[in-house]
Amino acid sequence: MATAAKTVEQICREAKDASHQLARASRDEKDACLLDLAGRIETNVDGLLEANRADVEAGREAGLNEALLDRLALTPTRVAEMATGVREIAELPDPVGEVVEGWTLGNGLDVKKKRVPIGVVAVVYEARPNVTIDAAALCLKSGNAAVLRGSSSAESSNAFLAGLLADALTAAELPAASVSLLSGGGHEQLAELATAEGLVDLIIPRGGEGLKNALKDVAKVPVMYAAAGNCHVYVHQDADLEMAQKVAYNAKVQRPGVCNAAETLLVHRDVAAELLPDLLAELHGAGVELVGDEPTRDAAGSVEVGQATEADWDTEYHGLKMAVGVVESLGDAIDHINRHGTGHSDAIVTRSREVGDEFTDAVDSAAVYVNASTRFTDGYEFGMGAEIGNSTQKLHARGPIGLRELTTTKYVVHGSGQIRE
C-alpha cells in the first residue's frame, strides 16, 4: 500500500497503473482480499481502539465539538460493524462486467452496454475512520484504485487501518497501490490531488461545506460531492400524530451529528397546537435546543423555544439543535424545503397517498420519505452495503454512493466484418 512519503503525483501515477490491473481482477480475487481484511479488523480490534483513543484524546484537547468527537470515536460495536460491512460488500454482486442493456442492429452488429470501473477514485473525508475501510472496500470491489485523504484528527486510526489494508492486499497478490493513504498534507496537498488530471478520474469529498468549497476553488478533475444534509420532516394536517412524533424525534435525536439527521421540523397550522407541546417537550428532554417562528413559540406551551433567524432555516447543525416552523399548506412546506434544503433527505408524515405522492414528486432531494425517518438514507439501510457518502448532485450519481455508483459504462460491439458504407 502506497504511503505519503512519495509525492502526490507519484502516488496517483502508481494508483493509475494499479487501476488497470484491478479492472481485470476476478470477483474471487477481490472478494478474497475483502474477506481477509474483515478478519484482520476483527483480530486487531484492541490495537485499533488504542490508536483511536489517541485520536479522540487529541481531538478533545484541540476543542473538537461533541458531534465531531462522536464521528471520530470507535467502539467495539463500531469496529464489528466495520468488519461486517466489508463482508457484506464481498457478498454483493460484482458490478464490473454487468450488461446494462444490449441489442442487435439490423446490420448484425451486437451492441452491449457494460459496467466498468471508473479508474482512480480519490476520497477526501473528515473525522470518521470507518470511511477509510468503507471507501477502500467499495473501490476494490468495483475494480477502482483508491487514493484516500483522511483528516489529521483521525491520523492514528487511519494509519492503523492502512496497515491492515496493506497486509490484505499483499496476501491477495493485488497491487500495493490499489489503496493509497495520504496524510500530513495541507491545502497544497488537496490542491495537487484535485488538479491531477489524467491520473485521478474522480474525487469524492465527504465532509462539510468548507471542504466542498475548498475543492470547488481548485478542482480540475471531476468531483462528486457527498455534501451537506439540511434535512426536513413535514407533518401534514391529516397525519397520524403519534407516528409524526415518533418519526420527527428519531430523525433528530437518534444520531444528530450525521448528514441524514433532520435539522428542521415543519408542521401544518391545523395540527400545530395539538402536536407541538408534547413533541417539543420530548425533544427538549433529549437535550435539543429549539428555535422557531412565532406560531411555533405560541404553540410550545411551557417548552422554551428561541426565536429562529433566517440563517437557522439554512443551517445544518450537526448536533442537538432544531428549527421548527408552522406552515399554512403542503405547498408552503414544499417551497420551504426546496428553498432552504440541500437536496439530501426530506420526509412527510401523512395518511394520504395523494399528498405523499405530491410531496415526493415536488421535493427536489436525493431521498424523499413518506411516513419514515430521514435517518434511513444510507447504503447499509438501502441494502447496498457500505457507502462512501450521499451525493446531492444529479450527475453522475445521486443518493448513497455504493458499488454501482463507482462504475461507468462502455459499449462493447461485436461484428462479423461489417464496414460502414
Which spans in 256-329 are helix H?
269-285, 294-299
Enter the C-alpha cell of residue 248: 420527527
SS3 for 262?
A: strand
Instruction: Could you list the beta-strand ranges (E) of 16-109.
Output: 99-104
Would you tell me the crossing angle of helices 155-172 and 45-61 to the nearest 10 degrees?
150
CA-wise closest residue to 346 among 399, 295, 393 = 399
- 56 or 378: which leads in pLDDT: 56
Decide if 398 is inside a domain: yes
Residue 350 and residue 221 share a domain: no
Residue 154 and residue 57 share a domain: yes
CB atoms within 10 A of CB 68: 21
Q: Which residue has the cell 475548498?
A: 214
Residue 166 · residue 1 · CB < 8 Å:
yes
- At 217, is the pLDDT very low, low, confident or very high (cuts 50, 70, 90)? confident
Query: 19-53: per-residue pLDDT in tens?
Result: 999 999 999 999 999 999 999 999 999 999 999 99
Residue 184 and residue 108 share a domain: yes
Expressed as residue numbers, the domain containing 141 is: 8-226+388-414
Domain of 53: which CATH number? 3.40.605.10
268 preceded by a cis bond (ω within 30 of 0):
no
CA-wise closest residue to 223 among 18, 388, 22 = 388
Identify the pLDDT of residue 58. Answer: 96
Distance CA 232, CA 279 (A): 15
Residue 252 and residue 156 share a domain: no
The upper half-sphere exposure of residue 197, i.e. CA atoms within 13 Å in the direction of its Cβ, equals: 4
Distance CA 402, CA 137 (A): 10
Distance linking the first and last C-alpha atoms of the chain: 51
Residue 349 and residue 200 share a domain: no
Distance CA 366, CA 341 (A): 11
Q: Which residue has the cell 462504475?
A: 407
Widest distance between CA atoms in the chain? 82
Enter the C-alpha cell of residue 59: 481531538
Enter the C-alpha cell of residue 301: 406551551
Domain of 334: which CATH number? 3.40.309.10
Residue 162 and residue 120 share a domain: yes
Decide if 420 is inside a domain: no
DSSP states of 181-216: EE-S--HHHHHHHHT-TTT--EEEEES-HHHHHHHH
- Number of DSSP helices (H) and strands (E) in the chain, helices first: 14, 16
Decide if 381 is inside a domain: no
Decide if 157 is inside a domain: yes
Residue 132 and residue 40 share a domain: yes
Q: What are phi and psi of 264, to 5 degrees?
A: -130, 135
Enter the C-alpha cell of residue 163: 496497515
* Count of domains forming the chain: 2
Q: Is the pTM of this model over 0.85?
A: yes
Residue 342's contacts (CB-CB under 8 Å, 6 or more residues apart) are 227, 228, 229, 230, 231, 316, 392
Decide if 2 is inside a domain: no
Identify the pLDDT of residue 206. Answer: 84
Q: What are phi and psi of 280, to 5 degrees?
A: -65, -35
Residue 68 and residue 87 share a domain: yes
Name the percent of the chain lying above pLDDT 70. 98
Identify the pLDDT of residue 128. Answer: 87
Residue 286 and residue 342 share a domain: yes
Enter the C-alpha cell of residue 160: 492503523
Task: Give the mean model confidence (pLDDT) for residues 120-141.
Answer: 94
Residue 408's contacts (CB-CB under 8 Å, 6 or more residues apart) are 115, 116, 117, 118, 396
Residue 173 · residue 44 · CB < 8 Å:
no
Handedness of CA 173, 174, 176, 182 (dihedral sign): negative
- Which strands sit side by side in the sheet containing 231-235, from one edge to the other? 306-307, 289-292, 321-327, 262-268, 231-235, 345-349, 367-370
Identify the pLDDT of residue 415. Answer: 98
CA-wise closest residue to 138 among 325, 401, 408 = 401
Query: 265-313: per-residue pLDDT in tens?
Result: 999 999 999 999 999 999 999 999 999 999 999 999 999 999 999 999 9
CB atoms within 10 A of CB 311: 8
- At 72, is the pLDDT very low, low, confident or very high (cuts 50, 70, 90)? very high
Residue 178 and residue 83 share a domain: yes
Query: 49-70: per-residue pLDDT in tens?
Result: 999 999 999 999 999 988 789 8
- At 138, is the pLDDT very low, low, confident or very high (cuts 50, 70, 90)? very high
CA-wise closest residue to 225 among 238, 237, 240, 214 = 214
SS3 for 4?
A: coil
Residue 176 and residue 82 share a domain: yes
Decide if 352 is inside a domain: yes
Residue type for position 394: K
Identify the pLDDT of residue 184. Answer: 66
Residue 407 and residue 372 share a domain: no
